[in-house]
Amino acid sequence: MTSYALVTGASSGIGRELARLLAKDGNNVVLVARRKAELEVLARELESTYRVIARVVPCDLGDAAARDALLAAVADVDVDILVNNAGFGSNGKFWENDAVREVGMVELNVTALTDLTRRLLPAMVLRGRGRVLNIGSTAGFQPGPWMTTYYATKAFVNSFTQALAYELRGTGVTATVSCPGPVATEFSSIAGNDKSALFKKSGGVAEPAAIAHEAYQAMLQGKPMIVHGARNKLAASASKVSPVALTTAIAASLNRRIS
């Protein structure tokens, strides 16, 4: 069967840039997101520029039945690369945030990622080749008041991927987690944290193309984790030795809206 890379959250930001990198290297791609129109524009771009096959599969990954339909749609191909990029966040007091949205965040950021990985990984291992790239975050290195659920979901993604990478040793399949800090995508405005100190004062907001390039190279090299940027690497290292109360307070000050 023909080999494909499946990219979730491919309609914008890091996911779109990763799809471009994969196609540039000659990979056929399955583009997954809720917004069909944006996916179709990207598919036409990739097919005309790189002469690959780009399939568009609109899907609300937070819905289990929709995930079933997605996997049925790609049952006729070998998915040798899985990029779990789709996700969203929120900002505010947990108990005041929309309850459906908070639970939906766990369903997308954690459950969908776990489900797709579990269902596509066995065939990769059987073939003796494959790569899984999960988009985690530096948010996963400490608790994050005002973005409580989001930080917790990224803690799961970071931990899950590193453990999976260990289990996969010797199989021919690798797992990599990309851990960016704040990135200049629509994610921040949708989450509401574009008005936080993290985005307004940190001075470390990265471009999605740069994050995608580093994540892609780490995936190709089979690295379990890539933390983007010297400042983020320093903060990640500090979080391992600093008291949790301190790292939590710092995260709270960065996540609080200032306008």
| Token reading at 6 | 């499946």
The one-letter amino acid at 18: L
Contacts of 213 (CB under 8 A, 6+ apart): 17, 21
Q: Report the DSSP pairing between strands 28-33 and 54-58.
A: parallel
Q: Report the DSSP pairing between strands 3-8 and 28-33.
A: parallel
Unique residue bearing structure tokens 């990309």: 178
Dist. CA 9–CA 18, nearest whole Å? 10
Using alpha carbons, list the distances in angstroms from residue 82 to 41, 134, 172.
Answer: 21, 8, 14
Q: Decide: helix, strand or coil at residue 30.
A: strand
Q: Point out the catalytic residue in the list 4, 150, 151, 216.
A: 150
Unique residue bearing structure tokens 């948010």: 139
Phi–psi pair at 188, nearest 5 degrees: -65, -40
Q: Decide: helix, strand or coil at residue 257.
A: strand
Dist. CA 15–CA 21, nearest whole Å? 10
Give catalytic status of residue 4 as yes or no: no
Dist. CA 150–CA 142, nearest whole Å? 11
Q: Radius of gyration over alpha carbons of the chain, in Å?
A: 18
Q: Which of the residues are catalytic? A: 150
